[in-house]
Structure 1
Amino acid sequence: MTAAPDPQGWVPDVLGEEFFQLTLPLRADDEGEVVATLVRALPERTAWQRLFGDRRTLADTDVLYVHGWSDYFFQKRLARFWTGRGARFFALDLRKYGRSLRPGQTPGYISDLAEYDEDIAAALAAMTDGQGAAPRRLVLLGHSTGGLTLSLWAARNPGVASAVILNSPWLEFQLPRFTRETIAPLVGLQAKRRPLDRAPQVDLGFYTRAQNEVADPEDPMDVDLAWRPAQTMAVHAGWLNAILAGHASIAAGIDIGVPVCVLLSAHSAYPTSWSEDLTRADSVLVVDDIARAALKIGHSITIEWIEGALHDVFLSRHEAREEAYARLGHWVDGWAAADSAARAAASREAGAPGVD
């Protein structure tokens, strides 16, 4: 028997099994139709949990993941980390990335990171549609450029997220701050005159090679190279100007206003030629600079250094990958317990029934 269509429009995702996707229409631009795509994985619940309530730590929590540059969501285990704790997991393929890329569009292009507010608003609306009256906690989880995007969004939208988790967030350029401030006006001028001009391709494919070298057979991944090419997508002047503006905002200081966990490799490597060192380090960002920049985004910042990790700590070799998940688990458990206790205390002070 064929299943009835989902009234919201959710359809099976390319990841199969428990994953579904929803297309989110956005305002069109000069390249035509624009959409974002939300991917969903829901926690499995026993008959007992359905009848008497789910008492797991994150049963009242939604997670929204945003990918990095030249990327999309494909990490099944990351979703299951959250659903196994009772959370509902959602991942957003932003406009012109991955599932959201349409023919004739410039992959990944945007001229202002604040334009992603529309994508995120559409995702949050879809996440809350039909959830009922009970409020749910929101955890934002961003990788690399997604970490920059979500950090800026959270600061512009205080009180929406309950926690923010950043996996090697791109909070500062891979050059000294003085150099960034020097080149920014030149990039800005080029972005006004010829925003689609391309910068020379400097990615030699070593980061992708490092991921393949350390692939974990216990956590297999099937990556679509049309959505996540071995060498990064073309860098355009308008996009680079948007990134540099975001970095300048971070350098000036923002306030996310909620606890933040930042996961980083313990080391950086500089990929001028292939070396085994690239399989044990972040070959994309300068991690010490990112750690310093992270101190500018809020007042409760935890930095977790993962020995032997890659730029995406959850794609590292087995030992570093397990360490990353363990560190994330410890932080999430501590945050959830402290947050629940604070909510219960606030409820008691307000004279409302306490939260168990």
Structure 2
Amino acid sequence: MADWIPDVLGDEFEQLTLDLGTDEQGPVVATLVRALPPEQEWWDRVRGRRRLLDGVDVLYVHGWSDYFFQKRLARFWTSRGARFFALDLRKYGRSLREGQTPGYIADLAIYDQDIGAALEAMGRGLGGNESARGLVLFGHSTGGLTLSLWASRHPGVADAVVLNSPWLEFQFAPARAALAPVVELQARIRPMEVAPQVDLGYYTRAQQEVADPDDPMEIDTAWRPVQTMAVYAGWLHAVLTGHKTVAAGLSISAPVCVLLSARFVPPTRWSEELTSADSVLVVDDIARAALRLGPSVTVERIDGALHDVFLSRHAAREEAYARLERWVTGWRASAGLRRPEPRQT
């Protein structure tokens, strides 16, 4: 395995390249990023102090046309004692190689290989359950869909699932049933056919409008473009298949927290409304779909939040972190401090 090396985010982070073999476009890798523990952790250990999330690992997976860059989100977890890792999936961000189609995949289950390699590199074994440490899966948008499907297929591995505006249903749910057969045919005949670009860049503009100089974000637009990456028929078919699976009901045994904006505003033209709403997903449809994830689901609706609730205007962003802390504190209190022994496969 390759060695951990300094990450583009600076001294607090390191990255590890995970070899995933080859496909028709050449060598395939994923990239695992880890947040280095703060100095306070060393002093707490010396003094014998326990923190809320001691003994917990967090694995974050980004959304479509995205990669991991959220330093503060990592600090939220590490400052409470957790080990934080983020995964740039194959053909995204740090993992994108020359000649590859950005973000393309024909089946979301292929990401099982990426996730398995990440869990193994985290010291949890390939299946993720060879550890006494707790595991929190944290997914945003398409990453939330991917991790929800994974958690349902791997019962008992995750101890908690946190989803930031997960893409659990197609925009305007009634259209999915009519669109799916057409997309499936396209995916079979011309999987690399490109759909018309409908993103006018308003979501990126909204993030820029509400940017907080006291909580800056350094974003590489080559990895997270102003307008989303091209959408291919094969990839869209994979996503719609995932939506159909969610609609039929998943069986995530762990408690789930879903963070969402309070409202959706369609991005048909620029307006100030887009700076205080989700302009990507129809959040009421996502809230309904979330209830099909498993038996224990909490939905947190945040007034004024953007699609990525942690990139919202100051007040909504702080509310998102406060809601997350409240849920995590309750989950941790009910789950106990540490597993007594590693789980067996």
Letter in 2 for 1:107: P
Number of aligned residues: 337
Pairing partner for 1:291 from 287, 300, 322: 287
In terms of mean alpha carbon deviation, does 21-30 or 40-49 score higher?
40-49
Letter in 2 for 1:86: G
The answer to whether 1:107 aligns with 2:102 is yes
Provide Cα deviations, 1:72-122, integer angstroms capped at 9, x if missing partner.
Answer: 000000000000000000000000000000000000000000000000000
2:160 alignment counterpart:
163
What is the aligned partner in structure 2 of residue 266 from structure 1? 262
Q: Secondary structure at the match of 1:71?
A: coil
Residues 68-217 of structure 1 correspond to what in structure 2 (within 5 A)? 68-128=63-123, 135-177=132-174, 179-217=175-213
Q: Who is 1:16 aligned against?
A: 10
Cα distance change of structure 1 residues 54 and 134 upon mapping to structure 2, 3 Å threshold: farther
Against the structure 1 CA distance between its residues 150 and 84, is the aligned structure 2 distance closer, same or farther, given a 3 Å change threshold?
A: same
Contact 1:12 1:21 in 2 (8 A): yes
> Paired residue for 1:26?
20
Return structure 1 stretches of 4+ with deviation > 6 angstroms.
Answer: none
- 1:329 corresponds in structure 2 to 325
1:266–1:129 distance in 2 versus 1, CA, 3 Å: closer
TM-aligned CA deviation for residue 175 of structure 1: 1.9
| Aligned partners of 1:42 and 1:87 also within 8 Å | no
Q: For the residues of structure 1 that align with 2:262 and 2:11, how far apart are their CA atoms?
A: 34
Q: Give 1:134 shift.
A: 6.0
SS in structure 2 at match of 1:248: helix
Q: Would you say the 8 A contact 2:107–2:238 is kept in 1? A: yes
Q: Secondary structure at the match of 1:22?
A: strand
Which structure would you say has the larger Rg? 1
Q: Which residue of 2 aligns with 1:36?
A: 30
TM-score (normalised: structure 1): 0.91
Deviates more, 1:149-158 or 1:35-44: 35-44
- Report if the CA contact (8 A) 2:123-2:131 is conserved: no
Between 270-279 and 47-56, the greater mean CA deviation after superposition: 47-56
Q: Judge conservation of contact 2:59–2:137 (CA < 8 Å) in 1.
A: yes
**Cα gap change, 1:51/1:105 in structure 2, threshold over 3 Å: closer, same or farther?**
same
Return the offset for 1:43: 2.4
Q: 1:109 to 1:334 in 2, by over 3 A?
A: same
Q: CA deviation at 1:193?
A: 0.7
Q: Determine if contact 2:21/2:28 at 8 Å carries over to the other structure.
A: yes
CA distance in 2, matches of 1:47, 1:237: 50
1:64 aligns with 2:59: yes
Q: What are the equivalent positions in structure 2 for 1:301-340 lying under 5 Å apart?
A: 301-340=297-336
Contact 2:67 2:93 in 1 (8 A): yes
Q: Alignment partner of 1:128: what SS? A: coil
Residue in 1 that maps onto 2:296:
300
Q: State how far apart, in whole Å, the 2-side matches of 1:47 and 1:154 are.
A: 32
Distance in 1 separating the partners of 2:36 and 2:21: 29
Question: How big is each residue's C-alpha offset from its partner over 1:48-68, in whole Å with a ceiling of 9 and x where there is no partner?
Answer: 433454510111000000000
Which runs of no fewer than 5 residues in structure 1 stay unpaired?
1-6
Root mean square deviation, CA, Å:
1.8
Q: Quick check: 2:4–2:15 contact (8 Å CA) kept in 1? A: yes
Deviations 1:225-270 (A, max 9, x none): 0000000000000000000000000000011111000000001001
Could you tell me whether the CA contact under 8 Å between 2:93 and 2:223 is conserved in 1? Answer: yes
Q: Which amino acid aligns with 2:324?
A: L
For structure 2, the 5+ residue unaligned runs are none
Q: What amino acid maps onto 2:312 in structure 1?
A: S
Identity %: 70
CA deviation digits over 1:179-231, x for unaligned, max 9? 21111011001101110000000000000000000001111011000000000
